[in-house]
Chains A and B, each alone.
Chain A
Amino acid sequence: MASLEEIKDYLFHKVESYAGKKQVKVPHLTQEIIEHFGEAECSKKDVKEALKELIDEEKLVYGYYGGTTIELPHVEGSANA
């Protein structure tokens, strides 16, 4: 079984790789992570737990662009205005 830390690490780097390129959503991320580790090694519940920890640690944040997205924390352009 993949450890929680391994899943968190991979999840974080996935979101990081999408930064500035794609607004990524939870179902898409979940699918990618399970495909990476394999269903025997990582379940939806594991991904959910990893995401929960990353959000609570403020390493990732929720966003909204036509549905909820997962993003790196940043200051929005609109907020700077």
Chain B
Amino acid sequence: MSDTPMIDQLETGPWPSFIKDIKRMAEKNAMCKDLLGLLEMSYKDKKTHWKHGGIVGVRGYGGGIIGRYSDSPEKFPNVSHFHTVRVNQPSAWFYNTGALRYLCDLWEKHGSGLTNLHGSTGDFVMLGTTTDQLEPIFTDLSEHGWDLGGSGSDVRTPSCCNGMARCEFACYDTMNLCYDLTNEYQDELHRPAFPYKFKFKMSGCPNDCVASIARSDCSIIGTWRDDIQQDDAAVAEYAKGGKVDIANDVVGKCPTGCMSWNGSKLSIDNKNCNRCMHCINVMPKALRPGKDKGAMILLGAKAPIVQGALLSSVLVPFIKMEPPYEEFKDLIRRIWEFWDEHGENRERIGEMIVRIGKGNFVEEVGLEPVPAMIKEPRSNPYIFYEEYFDEE
């Protein structure tokens, strides 16, 4: 009988199995063999046998290594240490095959050979190594032009969609901004000094393919402030082809009802468009984002750890997002200064804004309140007019 009857079941079914992969690695790596044993024990005991945290890291860095120890080192000595290494990924996860070979070879040499591509922060995640291997790994990575990513109370590794490299909808160069911010905030990335983590994610258009609105403290989402570019001849082609029911599938699904279709002409009331991208996604040959492009800055998303999950809400409705991004960086500096001063232990920026009120936050970071600072379109504005209260 197998030593691992419970996890063996995870090899059945049509999908690729992580158990199958770990078993393959276990033939040449003792860590993977013990990992299977520890995992089987977890399934049997219905609890994890990992311990998290501690002081493991590389010299000078507070981020990039996540300590993992097993609570059963006597049974599974090869996974008594099983630390995770986060490697800062290239913008938009573009690797050449040589880079991937190098990273895989490095990990087979110094670790378990198991990886996660990619972690939710975006990093190339290497799973399982021992404390004594950390400095050699870091030295090797550095010599080959790589660096560790973020972890703990620091700026987490910035990540972005592939923007202008692959997508016709990108309203700013997400990859350039991601690279720029990664270089600009090296100190904040490697030397944690914030009340808690801070994540940047960049999407080139409101489709938000990296889900920045749900997954980052600061979401930078491409948008435009003029009119949607419209090609009436291409609209007619969509109508004639019968592939798109413009009345139902485009106009009928416009969330703000800013479009109309009379059977031959599509009209858009652009001042009431909230840039949801639906019509553009349905008819990409006929409709395109406007020409006056930039980004909106949203703040405050997080997953439910200390408190419940939050989505980002609009802080700056439109900003030109061009190098050297001074206006944006100046805003971030003011936000960090305020959060650093007033944020409580393990309090994300979004939680602090909920606690103190968005109106107060906006005033403290030196922004003028505008009606677009909302959580959801056409609802719950945060703005309170002092004159209104005076009258009462």
Q: A73 on the interface (CB 8 Å rule)? A: yes
Binds A, one of B149-157, B237-245, B275-283: B149-157
A58 and chain B: residue at smallest CB distance: B59
Cβ–Cβ contact A67 & B62, under 8 A: no
CA distance A65 to B52 in the complex (A): 8
CA distance A28 to B343 in the complex (A): 11
Partner of A67, one of B61, B73, B340, B345: B345
Point out the residues of chain B lying under 8 angstroms from A21, CB to CB. Answer: none
Point out the residues of chain A lying under 8 angstroms from B308, CB to CB. Answer: none
Interface of A is mostly: mixed
A78 and chain B: residue at smallest CB distance: B69
CA distance A73 to B153 in the complex (A): 19
B151 and chain A: residue at smallest CB distance: A64
A: interface residue count bin: 20 to 34
Q: Contact mask A44-66 → B, CB, 8 Å, 1/0? A: 10001001100110100111111
A44 and chain B: residue at smallest CB distance: B340
CA distance A65 to B56 in the complex (A): 12
Cβ–Cβ contact B340 & A62, under 8 A: no
Cβ–Cβ contact B54 & A76, under 8 A: yes
Q: B193 on the interface (CB 8 Å rule)? A: yes
**Minimum CB–CB distance for B355 against chain A, Å:** 16
Point out the residues of chain B lying under 8 angstroms from A4, CB to CB. Answer: none
Q: B57 on the interface (CB 8 Å rule)? A: yes
Given A26-B193, A52-B191, A62-B192, does the pair A68, B53 have CB atoms closer than 8 Å?
no
CA distance A51 to B80 in the complex (A): 31
12 A-B residue pairs with Cβ-Cβ distance under 8 Å, sorted by A, are A25-B153, A26-B193, A27-B193, A48-B191, A56-B60, A62-B62, A63-B53, A64-B55, A64-B67, A64-B151, A76-B54, A76-B69
Chain A residues within CB distance 8 Å of chain B: 25-28, 30, 44, 48, 51-52, 55-56, 58, 61-68, 71, 73-74, 76, 78-79, 81
Chain B residues within CB distance 8 Å of chain A: 51, 53-57, 59-63, 66-67, 69, 73-74, 80-81, 131, 151-154, 191-196, 340, 343, 345-346
